[in-house]
Amino acid sequence: MNIRLGRLLGIPVSVDISWFVIFALIVFTLAQYYFPQFYPGLSPVMNWFAGLVAALLLFASVLLHELMHSVVARRNNIDIGGITLFIFGGVSRLREEPSTPASELKMALAGPATSFALALVFWLAMVIGGTAIFGPVGLAILQYLAGINVMLAVFNMLPGFPLDGGRVFRAILWGTLNDLDRATRYASWVGQGLGYLFMVLGFTMMLFGNFVSGLWLVFIGWFLSNTAQQSYQQVVLRRALSGVGVGSIMTQEFPHINPEMPLDEFVHDYLLRYDHSAFPIIDGEDLIGIVTVSEVRDVPREQWHTTTVRQVARPPEEERKIDEYDDAFDALMQMAGGHTRRLLVMHDGKLKGMVTEDSIINIVRRKLQLGI
């Protein structure tokens, strides 16, 4: 679940619900452990204040890191879906792959360069301003932010896809091999390997008593290995679905179902006879709703003969929709994000058909089998 924050430089920014978990955890860790250990002169209230401010500025730094990725991507004609902050940091959602290794390289380096620049700014502010200007609390916050931004840049430059360093590695391979698929596959293998290495190190740390840090390393490794695999799969899907429009694969032929038909008649005459996962219910030219097995199952069987299709149909507003001229890959990503296996295909407010996850995957499977 994402919460929309607004736009920065025209780019949508949102926060995943998981972000609040990591934000609270970072504030707690800074206030209870970091600042009391390294700055014992601060009062408990000041520790919590410093933890809150430092956590907010940390995520502002992460947001700037991702914003620069998006800005450089946009300047290189790469469509950006937006920026999302989540439990493991932030991500710029690319709607398409870079067209050249050079554009990939520039986009990938923009984030770490921003983090290094922020670290330098915080360090200079700490050195020039000192305690006289910022006080002990401000100095503690600046020192933390300088260090954490360096760590953020260094971590992101590890050569495992989809980290920034992995994208740099992929750009180099892409330029050398002249093959984006192979470059992505090799960079993803390195990303998965790094993820497994982090998990092994994390479990080792947990065995030797450093449970919290080890657990975090395990989670980061798990996230990196999974994301590396998923990123490669996305590239394969995007390439396989290149040029495939929703209109060319949607189902257009549906049986005409009377909205006043009782459910028992609908089940025997349509639900059991047709190989459709969902049935649009149309009255004239107006879409009333969608009926699936789930809607029928929610009604006790003894009431099927007195309950009409209209009464159980899901309202169109509850269904995800896509235009018939949109790309099949966009449809697949929308299904994944909305946890659904179908989309209503609309154009000019009218139902044109329905596209399902199975129909898209079948196209991908055939193209991969044919090597096209």
d(CA 295, CA 311): 10
Considering 66, 104, 295, 319, which one is annotated as catalytic?
A: 66
Beta strand spans in the chain (E): 2-8, 11-16, 80-86, 89-94, 279-283, 286-291, 321-323, 342-347, 350-356
Please provide the size of the chain in residues.
Answer: 372
The letter for the amino acid at 364 is V
Q: Is there a catalytic annotation at residue 66?
A: yes
Q: What angle do CA 165, 169, 172 make, to 5 degrees?
A: 140
Q: What angle do CA 343, 348, 349 make, to 5 degrees?
A: 60
Distance (Å) of CA 6 to CA 3, 39, 68, 322: 9, 36, 17, 23
- Bond from prior residue into 300 cis (ω within 30 degrees of 0): no
d(CA 97, CA 56): 31
Active site residues: 66
